[in-house]
Amino acid sequence: MTGADEIDILIPAYNEADRLPATIAAVRRAAPGRVIVVDDGSHDGTAEAARAAGADVVLTHATNRGKGAALNTGLAACCAPILLLIDADLGTTASEVAPLVEAVRAGRCEMAVAAFPRTRRKSGVGLAQGMARRGIERRTGRAFASPLSGQRCLRRADVEALGGFAEGFAVEVALTLGVLGLGRRVEEIPLPLSHRKTGRTLDGFLHRARQAMAIRRALRDVDRRPRT
């Protein structure tokens, strides 16, 4: 493996002490690289679980600041030219992410995004998913099956060209729009991944409402940018 092929694996985590060890072990088998975990203000021992599982770097936030902020904290510790972003709750299915890295290394695209398999179980994410899908397609002409997927491989230089990750609940939408706006190729790859669903509870619905509002703001911000 050359220096140009090296990867940093960036995992933002919030209260994922139970699933994170399996995620770390599985992703190490799939895509050897330096594992950087950012504990975003957890109160269940997530940081300790990450260290015990062999994460190379464990960074912590004193309070929960959101996924985008966690990714930016991790980005500051990254030095490899390729970044693999995965969610902490993939568990053993993290062993399936190798095709994302292979697509970027082979030069097929500059960002590879995992498309999750369709499930019959309703999780309540339809509003946010639909808003993200329609918003991206209307602005770029690209239709994505999993526009909110956090499992992505891309070049660190492109993230830095965008000024880092957008903070808040629309980080994935902003990243897709930003990378496409740079003229980069984005490929969606169906993978047999699974993660914890946001429940159909009051907290779950409030989370999705905040996510939908953040996506609306991210799309509005793109529309306000001057066209060149």
pLDDT digits (tens, 9 = 90+) for 154-200: 999 999 999 999 987 789 999 999 999 999 999 999 999 998 765 55
Distance CA 71, CA 4 (A): 22
| 178 phi, psi to nearest 5 deg | -65, -45
β-pair type (82-85, 57-61) = unpaired
- Residues 18-37 have pLDDT tens digits of 999 999 999 999 999 999 99
- Output DSSP code: residue 1: -
Structure tokens at 34: 């330096």
Distance CA 99, CA 147 (A): 18
Cα–Cα distance list, 190 to 43, 65, 131 (Å) = 33, 30, 21
Distance CA 99, CA 90 (A): 16
Exposed, middle or buried, 211 (CB in 10 Å: 0-12/13-18/19+)? Answer: buried
Please state whether the predicted TM-score (pTM) of the whole model is above 0.85. Answer: yes
